[in-house]
Structure 1
Amino acid sequence: MRKLYPQALADSSWDNTGLLLEAPFNPSSRRSNTVLLTIDLTRAVADEAIALDSSIIIAYHPIIFRGLKSITLANTQQSTLLRLASHGISVYSPHTAVDAAPGGLGDWLADIVTATKTTRSFPPESPDEDVVESVETPDIKKEPLTSDDDDPFIENKTRPVFTLHSHPSQTVLRPFTNKPPPPNIVAVPHTRRPIIPQSPELDSHPGAGMGRIVNFKDAQPLTIILDRIGRGLNNPKGFPIAIPQNKAISDIEIKSVGICAGSGGSMLANLDVDLLFTGEMSHHEALAAIEKGQVVISIFHSNSERGFLGDVLAGQLDEAVAKEWRVVREEERESGEKGVKEALEEDDFEVLVSEEDRDPFGIVILKHEKEE
């Protein structure tokens, strides 16, 4: 992870990246060589890692942001850390290093709006197919109300039925491969650059920096960009958009886009671009933008980040670990440390994307049943 996304790229003025939990190595209860990728390290993800016998969790968001004066079971996040340590599972968080890196999260979002890199299923169903098959996610279990008469989820009612859809926790249709896009997917001519360039620039990662600004050679209809975002994010059930009050979506064309994963209000506030594309933005920030004639698309904080795990990071890490593990096994083969020799004999490993991880917000879809 440090080679792919050096900590020097992270915004150390506030972020907390790196190895946040180093679990002791216990030869008698050695875990499998399994890496679990997640955006947020919740109790559900911790349970998943324990069940998968993982050795380490790569959690994009740091579970520790500030100094801890104690680590107790009274705090849910600290309780999760204690459980993981007791099971021998370590935690690494790259966060803004991934945002800034060339080919990282910022470029993944820029690829989506420019159709530079396909995020569709492979292989396509036909040579001319470039449509992602829709994915239905399981509904969250609905708790009944106090009585059947008050329960809107009973089928014989003629009242509204509410269905809560959470965006898929991982890219279920897209294996993490480096296969090229189908030939009929053509990247839209554009230029891109960081909003805040990395300073000083790293020789190993030229062109790094926070956020991205995309300038299209030719203006793009907003409807087309919305379609690209929907496809690139694996068909979410919906997401917020703000447009100027005197405009309709079909009237708007976009020549430039400002991009920031996660919460992009402060980074995007003063950009002179047509579209602000981010995970979340406050009411007043969005209002100020549309008053200036800009469009705002916010796709929920971690939904602007999660697809990157399966589309990019899992494949990168799979390839990098395969090379690194061969070197480590050769270098450490003569180690006399108890239990290390047995561990080094295993050449297999897995990089998995969490199936439990998801944004805390879902979309409630209201459907009226037909009258008998």
Structure 2
Amino acid sequence: MMSSQTAPFSKAVVSAMRKLYPERLADKSWDNTGLLLEAPYNPQRRQRNSALLTVDLTKAVADEAIETKQSIVVAYHPIIFKGLKALSLGDSQQQSLLRLATEGISVYCPHTAVDAASGGLGDWLADIVTGDAIEQPPQELLQGSPVEGPPSVPPGEETDPFVLPQRPSFILQPHPSGLKFIQRDLKLASIPHTRSAIKPNEDPSSPGAGMGRVVRFAQPQPLAHLIDRIARGLGQPKGFPVAIPQGTAIEDISIRSVGICAGSGGSLFAGLDVDLLFTGELSHHEALAAIERGQSVVTMFHSNTERGFLHSVLSNQLLQAVREEWETIRSGIREDGRLEEALKDTSVEVEVSERDRDPFGLVIAQSAGG
């Protein structure tokens, strides 16, 4: 018989997340954070004591959660932003919620609480920007990658009208979503600097919290080195957008200050006086206005500034916190036959989705034969 309460393990995960990243830190003026789906517990079809971390709760991630029998999905981006007048199978996101509820899988969404918290996503990105690469940045960053011309034509075939020229083929290169983000060659936060929140949180119990970060270096840093640090820290993507003022070159630009915002930083960056803007995405006009002001811009596509945090920081943080919460819950619940089997299970797992990825990848040209 299905109960009117959620799985006790899911309660442990929610309690742990709220302690790690208090919901009061979220920007409630527009964000929607918290337990957005509280699925009823079915003791006859009990899920594993496991939480699945993801940036976006897509159909593919919902399939993954169901197949691997997760108790709860911790989805960084809220799957519900606005009030719903109905839940239907015709809407893909609502369909995922209904399917998860049927399986007894809850959904918790922390979003800007993770962004704002001291030691959270904003500080992790600042740690990357202020990291020290063990190796020097590759020369391609300084000089520009060589542009390959068309394949060479064998002697005697230069004017043969019956030989068709080779056309480039294209492959879609997504960001390495399933990669373990380990900064083996990047010493995080080792370059002398100061940092502060762009929009500080007024809660005195959370010093250092707030939306976005501003990093100010003790000594100017070459832009090429910052680009290298960002690439190393975010999984070595095949490429990402960079904007610099016209008439300048990457190797000539020094950076004294950086504005940082995970996801989309346009509104948070408004009026910010820094040399470099680092975020997931900016609109065309926001980027154009920035370089006209003499600023440089590095973007990584929206969720690629967020996903590595799940691998590098949150998964281990949450695992330790849930272990403590689960022991507290197990020892504090009175005898209940419906929960007996669940409370005997001492296992605790936190997994990162293998199917979560940014919708955008890079299409890279290759020779037809390559």
Query: What is the TM-score of this pair, normalised by structure 1?
Result: 0.84
* Aligned twin of 1:227: 228
* Aligned twin of 1:199: 202
Q: Give, in angstroms, the shift of residue 159 of structure 1.
A: 1.5
Q: What are the equivalent positions in structure 2 for 1:111-150 lying under 5 Å apart?
A: 111-115=127-131
CA distance in 1, matches of 2:200, 2:186: 33
* Aligned twin of 2:256: 255
Q: Give, in angstroms, the shift of residue 349 of structure 1.
A: 1.5
CA distance in 1, matches of 2:367, 2:110: 44
- Unaligned runs of at least 5 residues, structure 1: 119-127, 132-155, 176-180
Q: Give, in angstroms, the shift of residue 370 of structure 1.
A: 6.2
* Aligned twin of 1:85: 101
What amino acid is the match of 2:200?
Answer: P
* Aligned twin of 1:279: 280
* Aligned twin of 2:218: 217
* 1:168 and 2:176 aligned: yes
Contact kept in structure 2, 1:219 and 1:255, CA below 8 Å: yes
* 1:5 and 2:5 aligned: no
1:242-271 Cα deviation digits (max 9, x unpaired): 000010000000000000110101111211
Contact kept in structure 2, 1:27 and 1:339, CA below 8 Å: yes
Q: Give, in angstroms, the shift of residue 297 of structure 1.
A: 0.5
What amino acid is the match of 2:202?
Answer: S
* Aligned twin of 1:71: 87
* Aligned twin of 1:33: 49
* Aligned twin of 2:160: none
1:311-341 Cα deviation digits (max 9, x unpaired): 1100100110111111111111x322x3211
* Aligned twin of 1:140: none
SS at match of 2:18: coil
CA distance in 1, matches of 2:49, 2:182: 23
Q: Give, in angstroms, the shift of residue 182 of structure 1.
A: 7.7
CA distance in 1, matches of 2:65, 2:47: 11
* 1:346 and 2:354 aligned: no
- Unaligned runs of at least 5 residues, structure 2: 1-16, 138-163
Contact kept in structure 2, 1:221 and 1:252, CA below 8 Å: yes
Q: Give, in angstroms, the shift of residue 130 of structure 1.
A: 9.7
1:170-227 Cα deviation digits (max 9, x unpaired): 332539xxxxx789777000000000000133x1x22100000000000000010011
Q: 1:185 to 1:65 in 2, by over 3 A?
A: closer
CA distance in 2, matches of 1:20, 1:60: 12
Q: 1:130 to 1:315 in 2, by over 3 A?
A: farther
* Aligned twin of 1:190: 193
CA distance in 1, matches of 2:187, 2:283: 38
Q: 1:164 to 1:105 in 2, by over 3 A?
A: same
What amino acid is the match of 1:303?
Answer: N
* 1:315 and 2:304 aligned: no
Match of 2:69 among 29, 49, 53: 53
* Aligned twin of 1:367: 366
* Aligned twin of 1:110: 126
Q: Considering fraction of residues, name the structure with more helix.
A: 2
1:124-164 Cα deviation digits (max 9, x unpaired): xxxx8899xxxxxxxxxxxxxxxxxxxxxxxx992111010
Size of the aligned set, in residue pairs, is 329
SS at match of 1:257: strand
Percent of aligned pairs with the same amino acid: 60
SS at match of 1:262: strand
SS at match of 1:309: helix
CA distance in 1, matches of 2:340, 2:135: 50
CA distance in 1, matches of 2:71, 2:82: 24
Q: Give, in angstroms, the shift of residue 100 of structure 1.
A: 0.3
CA distance in 2, matches of 1:114, 1:172: 21
* Aligned twin of 1:300: 301
What amino acid is the match of 2:245?
Answer: P
CA distance in 1, matches of 2:254, 2:223: 5
What amino acid is the match of 2:23?
Answer: Q
* Aligned twin of 1:265: 266
What amino acid is the match of 1:353?
Answer: V
> 4+ residue stretches of structure 1 with deviation over 3 A?
128-131, 181-186
CA distance in 2, matches of 1:185, 1:193: 17
Judge which range, 163-172 or 273-282, deviates more: 163-172
* Aligned twin of 1:335: 335
Q: 1:101 to 1:285 in 2, by over 3 A?
A: same
